[in-house]
């Protein structure tokens, strides 16, 4: 009997202490504006976890901490996208392109010559959209992204591709900084295919 009274007393004491400690800790977190998750914790998360966090941000009003998280997410996204593009690209035929010189080809024309028009105009933009969708938000549908992508077919350089994609995303309401980040990720990843 004495042992059960001690256990009940211990349990009640624990409950009482934990119920007073938790509100104090959360009130402190609210007043200081800090998160219990540190930058190191963000770096150890996978891109899906970070994407879910980034997806909740108001991209027009990012705090310094949120910008850090977006940067970490962007870095992870780029590495995953490079890997996925290399795996998804069709095998390259050894025939030479019909064009006179590779220097005369634009960036997108080289991609089409190397991987085929169907891959570059249909498959590739779907892969790219799937990766950057959490970053650019719900403002850009897959169909709209594919339209932006297919408007870049005539570009000659990676810088022109980046600029065209960024402007297209901005026209859909994506903030300039986020549009530039997404365009840089896409252009860098596509660059490995050329």
Q: Do 107 and 151 belong together in one domain?
A: yes
Q: Which helix (H) or strand (E) holds 136?
A: helix 124-136
Q: Do 12 and 81 belong together in one domain?
A: no
Residue for token digits 């930058």?
39
pLDDT band at 7 (very low <50, low <70, confident <90, very high): very low
Q: Do 10 and 59 belong together in one domain?
A: no
Mean pLDDT of the chain: 74
The stretch 42-46 carries a mean pLDDT of 78
CB 65 within 8 A of CB 176: no
Q: Do 113 and 43 belong together in one domain?
A: yes
Q: Do 44 and 123 belong together in one domain?
A: yes
pLDDT band at 40 (very low <50, low <70, confident <90, very high): low
Better-scored residue on pLDDT, 121 or 8? 121
Question: Does residue 168 surpass a pLDDT of 90?
Answer: yes
Q: Do 96 and 30 belong together in one domain?
A: no
Domain that holds residue 50: 37-191
For residue 164 the two structure tokens come to 């065209």
80-121 confidence digits (pLDDT tens): 888 888 888 787 654 444 444 444 457 778 888 888 888 888
Question: Does residue 22 surpass a pLDDT of 50?
Answer: no
pLDDT at 166: 93
**Ranges 39-48, 165-174, 185-194, most confident:** 165-174
Q: Do 27 and 52 belong together in one domain?
A: no
């Amino acid at each position: 009997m004495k042992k059960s009274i001690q256990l009940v007393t211990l349990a009640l004491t624990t409950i009482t202490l934990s119920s007073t400690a938790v509100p104090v800790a959360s009130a402190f977190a609210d007043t200081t504006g800090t998160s219990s998750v540190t930058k190191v914790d963000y770096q150890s998360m996978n891109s899906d976890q970070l994407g879910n966090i980034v997806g909740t941000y108001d991209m027009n009003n990012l705090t310094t901490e949120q910008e850090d998280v977006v940067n970490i997410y962007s870095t992870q996204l780029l590495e995953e996208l490079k890997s996925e593009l290399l795996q998804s690209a069709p095998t390259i035929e050894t025939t030479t392109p019909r064009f006179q010189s590779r220097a005369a080809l634009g960036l997108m024309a080289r991609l089409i010559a190397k991987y085929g028009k169907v891959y570059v105009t249909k498959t590739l933009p779907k892969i790219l959209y799937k990766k950057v969708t959490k970053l650019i938000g719900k403002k850009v549908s897959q169909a709209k992204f594919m339209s932006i992508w297919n408007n870049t077919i005539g570009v000659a350089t990676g810088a022109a591709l980046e600029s065209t994609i960024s402007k297209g995303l901005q026209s859909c309401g994506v903030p300039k900084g986020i549009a530039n980040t997404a365009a840089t990720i896409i252009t860098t990843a596509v660059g490995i295919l050329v």
